[in-house]
């Protein structure tokens, strides 16, 4: 089938984003074949339109009209070579985590329950419960829209940091596969405070996964009932001097040692200290379960972005700290 026959115009993305925003893409295509990806460059050049990648819409805020060519990568294959596992970018992240455990591989259990696709994982360097995906990525295989060919980036090339990677700055790179280096030697990661009660000698990767799924269910609203994209704000990284100033106002502020004499402080603690947990503005509200989660009740993006701006302004005014947004705003 010709590429032009696979492209859809004025395509609704409402069921392709967890905030359930009624967004319409000018052009949309779902890619199952690398050859189709190679031909997209000609189409975008002819139409003079930019492209963007949309996975499962788990970390995006879409406009009502998206004047772009939206590409959904649906490569789902898995291949294994020793402890290296290569996975297509379209595979659901949590399905893959479960697959690794069922096949005897350890490491990703602390990242259980995170919504989204494999392709999105390295872009944001997803992390939770004392673990980050960059600790397990060996290589990311991408399609470069500028050179129209496949390129491979090793872990160092990806420039991973807290919720950051090179892919957020290199718009021409489309993640098509991710290669993970895992192990069958189970070394439990119990650093996260909610996991401290578990005893290393009595647990398995499945037990850790079970507890994390319970924690997530207790803290994060079901996006099918209360549309949300999980954490809406990053935890601020500040200097030790800045921490001392904050502690004078908030003596019980939660913080964690980071790198280069810096600390990561709890954005949730800052928000809750301003009594914003459960706060509603128009058709959006801060979740009563977790203050980093913003729930959307509108088909437009303005309401949830207005709420986010209100929270940012309040934190800045009271603590002189800028809260960065975690989802990508289109």
Q: Which pLDDT does position 45 carry in this prediction?
A: 84
> For residue range 149-180, what is the model confidence (pLDDT) as tens digits?
999 999 999 999 999 999 999 989 999 999 99
> For residue range 217-255, what is the model confidence (pLDDT) as tens digits?
999 999 999 999 999 999 999 999 999 999 999 999 999
Q: Which pLDDT does position 293 carry in this prediction?
A: 98
Q: Which domains does the chain have, with CATH numbers?
A: 3-73 (3.30.43.10), 78-219 (3.30.465.10), 237-329 (3.90.78.10)
Q: Which pLDDT does position 52 carry in this prediction?
A: 95
- Asked if residue 191 has pLDDT above 90, the reply is no
- Asked if residue 43 has pLDDT above 90, the reply is no
Q: Annotated catalytic sites, by residue?
A: 163, 231, 326
Q: Which pLDDT does position 193 carry in this prediction?
A: 82
Q: Which two tokens stand for residue 208?
A: 């850790």
User: To the nearest 10°, the Cα dihedral for 215, 219, 225, 227?
Assistant: -120
What is the overall mean pLDDT for the chain? Answer: 95
Contact 255, 263 (CB under 8 A): yes
Between CA 208 and CA 321 the distance in angstroms is: 34
> For residue range 120-135, what is the model confidence (pLDDT) as tens digits?
999 999 999 999 999 9
Question: Which residue's entry shows tokens 């999105």?
Answer: 120
- Asked if residue 82 has pLDDT above 90, the reply is no
pTM of the model: 0.93
- Asked if residue 201 has pLDDT above 80, the reply is no
Q: Which pLDDT does position 46 carry in this prediction?
A: 86
The pLDDT-based confidence of 66 (bands split at 50, 70, 90) is: very high
How many other CB atoms are found less than 10 A from the CB of residue 140? 26
Q: Which two tokens stand for residue 319?
A: 């603590």
The pLDDT-based confidence of 194 (bands split at 50, 70, 90) is: confident
The pLDDT-based confidence of 196 (bands split at 50, 70, 90) is: confident
The pLDDT-based confidence of 4 (bands split at 50, 70, 90) is: confident
Q: Which pLDDT does position 42 carry in this prediction?
A: 84
Share of the chain above pLDDT 90, in %: 88
Q: Which two tokens stand for residue 191?
A: 């650093």
């Amino acid at each position: 089938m010709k590429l032009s026959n696979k492209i859809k115009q004025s395509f609704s993305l409402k069921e392709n984003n967890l905030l359930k925003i009624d967004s319409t893409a000018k052009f949309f295509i779902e890619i199952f074949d690398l050859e189709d990806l190679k031909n997209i460059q000609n189409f975008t050049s002819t139409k003079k339109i930019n492209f963007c990648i949309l996975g499962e819409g788990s970390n995006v805020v879409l406009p009502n009209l998206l004047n772009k060519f939206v590409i959904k990568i649906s490569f789902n294959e898995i291949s294994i070579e020793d402890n290296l596992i290569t996975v297509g970018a379209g595979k659901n992240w949590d399905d893959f985590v479960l697959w690794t455990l069922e096949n005897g591989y350890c490491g990703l259990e602390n990242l259980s329950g995170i919504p989204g696709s494999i392709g999105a994982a390295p872009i944001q360097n997803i992390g939770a419960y004392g673990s980050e995906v960059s600790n397990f990525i060996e290589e990311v295989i991408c399609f470069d829209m500028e050179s129209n060919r496949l390129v491979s980036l090793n872990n160092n090339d990806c420039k991973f940091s807290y919720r950051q990677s090179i892919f957020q700055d290199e718009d021409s790179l489309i993640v098509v596969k991710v290669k993970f280096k895992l192990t069958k030697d189970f070394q439990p990661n119990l650093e996260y405070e909610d996991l401290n009660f578990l005893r290393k000698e009595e647990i398995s990767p499945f037990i850790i996964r079970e507890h994390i799924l319970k924690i997530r269910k207790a803290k994060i609203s079901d996006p099918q009932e209360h549309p949300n994209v999980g954490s809406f704000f990053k935890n601020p990284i500040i200097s030790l001097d800045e921490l001392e100033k904050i502690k004078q106002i908030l003596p019980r502020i939660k913080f964690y040692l980071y790198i280069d004499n810096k600390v990561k402080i709890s954005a949730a603690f800052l928000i809750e200290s301003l009594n914003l947990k459960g706060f509603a503005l128009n058709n959006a509200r801060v979740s009563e379960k977790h203050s980093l989660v913003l729930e959307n009740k509108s088909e437009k993006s303005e309401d949830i972005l207005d709420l986010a701006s209100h929270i940012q302004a309040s934190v800045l005014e009271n603590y002189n700290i800028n809260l960065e947004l975690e989802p990508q705003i289109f």
